[in-house]
C-alpha cells in the first residue's frame, strides 16, 4: 500500500481516515472514501516516484492511524484533536475524508498541536462560505466561513481554487474578509497560482475536478478542472505544506475507480512537493 513508501514506528508522515458524511447535503457516501483512497494507492499499481522524480520511498516513512469513528460532530472534533496532539511533532499529516466538514476539525487540531499560523489553499467547486446550511452551522457548506469566523485561519490567507458554484452572499463574505477566490475559468486561462504566505494547509475536495475526471463525488459540478490542470497547480505551489486532506470522494458513484485514482495522483504529487527535510 501507499506507493511503496515504507511503514515505520518513527514516521514523518501520518495518515488518518475520517469517515464522516453526516453533513453531506446531496449524495451521502463519502464515509467510504478513506478506505477507497487507501486501496487506490497500492504499490502494486504505482512506482514510488512523483512526476518531479522525487522518490517518495526514500523521503517518507508512514504510519496509518486508522479511522476516527464518532457519534456526533463535537465528538469527532475532540477525537481528531486528541489523536493529532498525541502524535504531532512536526510530521506531515494526511487526512482522508469524509465530507468537507472534517477540514474544520483537522485544521483546528493541527493549529492547536503545532502552535503555528498558516494559510489555507482550498480546492473546491464550492466556496463553502454559507453562514449555515439546512440548519447546520458546521455543514460541509460552511467550513471555510467557520474557520475564518473562529480565527483558525485569516481570511487574507485563504485561497480558494476551482470555484464555479458560488452565491452572491458567499462572494460578498469573501470580499469582506479578504478571501481570494480563483475560479475554474481563471485556472483554465492560467494554471499558475501565486501564494503570498509561507506555510499552508491544502484541502482537496474531489469535486474541484470536472465530473469527467471525478464522477464519484457527493456534489458534482460540471465545468471543472482537469486532473492535469490540478497536478500542474500542485507542482507550481511555492509553499511549505503543514498538512493536507482529500475529501468528498464517494465510491458509490465512482466509475471503475476513476475518482479514487485521481485522489491517489493528488496525494503522490503533494508528497513529492512536500518532501520531509531532516
User: Is 207 labelled as part of a ligand binding site?
Assistant: yes
Start-to-end C-alpha separation, the chain:
24
Q: Which residues of 163-183 are buried (b: 16+ CB within 10 A; e: fewer)?
A: bbbbeeebeebbeebebbbbe
Give the number of C-alpha atoms closer than 13 A to the C-alpha of residue 157, restricted to the C-beta side.
17
Is residue 219 helix, strand or coil? coil
Task: Check the annotation: does 32 bind a ligand.
Answer: no
Rg for the chain (alpha carbons), in Å? 17
Say how far residue 94 (Cα) sits from the centre of its chain. Answer: 8
Please check if 7 is assigned to a binding site. Answer: no
Known binder of ligand: residue 205?
A: yes
Is residue 128 a known part of a binding site? yes
Contact partners, residue 42, CB within 8 Å, separation at least 6: 1
Report the alpha-carbon distance of residue 201 to residue 158 in Å, rounded: 10
Euclidean distance between CA atoms 2 and 268, whole angstroms = 9
What phi and psi values does residue 11 have, to the nearest 5 degrees?
-80, 160
Q: Dihedrals φ, ψ of 237, to 5°?
A: -70, 135
Does 177 show up as a binding residue in the annotation?
Answer: no
Q: Are 105 and 81 in contact (CB under 8 A)?
A: yes
Binding residues, by number, are 100, 124, 126, 128, 205, 207
- Binding site for Mn(2+), by residue number, is 100, 124, 126, 128, 205, 207
Amino acid at each position: 500500500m501507499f506507493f511503496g513508501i515504507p511503514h515505520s514506528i518513527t514516521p514523518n508522515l501520518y495518515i488518518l481516515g475520517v469517515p464522516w458524511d453526516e453533513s453531506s447535503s446531496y449524495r451521502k457516501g463519502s464515509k467510504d472514501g478513506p478506505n477507497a483512497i487507501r486501496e487506490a494507492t497500492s504499490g502494486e499499481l504505482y512506482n514510488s516516484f512523483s512526476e518531479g522524480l522525487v522518490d517518495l520511498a526514500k523521503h517518507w516513512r508512514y504510519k496509518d492511524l486508522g479511522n476516527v469513528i464518532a457519534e456526533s460532530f463535537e465528538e469527532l472534533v475532540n477525537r481528531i484533536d486528541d489523536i493529532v496532539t498525541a502524535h504531532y511533532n512536526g510530521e506531515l499529516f494526511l487526512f482522508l475524508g469524509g465530507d468537507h466538514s472534517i477540514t474544520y476539525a483537522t485544521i483546528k487540531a493541527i493549529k492547536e498541536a503545532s502552535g503555528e499560523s498558516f494559510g489555507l489553499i482550498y480546492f473546491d467547486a464550492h466556496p463553502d462560505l454559507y453562514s449555515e446550511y439546512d440548519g447546520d452551522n458546521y455543514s460541509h457548506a460552511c467550513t471555510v466561513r467557520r474557520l475564518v469566523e473562529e480565527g483558525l485561519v485569516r481570511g487574507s490567507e485563504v485561497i480558494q481554487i476551482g470555484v464555479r458554484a458560488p452565491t452572491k452572499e458567499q462572494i460578498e463574505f469573501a470580499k469582506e474578509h479578504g478571501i481570494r477566490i480563483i475560479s475554474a475559468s481563471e485556472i483554465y486561462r492560467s494554471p499558475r497560482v501565486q501564494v503570498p504566505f509561507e506555510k499552508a494547509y491544502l484541502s482537496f475536495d474531489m469535486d474541484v475536478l470536472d465530473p469527467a475526471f471525478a464522477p464519484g463525488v457527493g456534489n458534482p459540478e460540471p465545468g471543472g478542472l482537469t486532473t492535469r490542470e490540478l497536478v500542474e497547480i500542485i507542482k507550481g505551489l511555492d509553499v511549505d505544506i503543514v498538512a493536507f486532506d482529500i475529501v468528498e470522494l464517494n465510491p458509490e458513484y465512482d466509475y471503475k475507480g476513476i475518482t479514487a485514482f485521481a485522489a491517489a495522483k493528488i496525494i503522490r504529487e503533494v508528497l513529492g512537493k512536500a518532501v520531509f527535510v531532516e
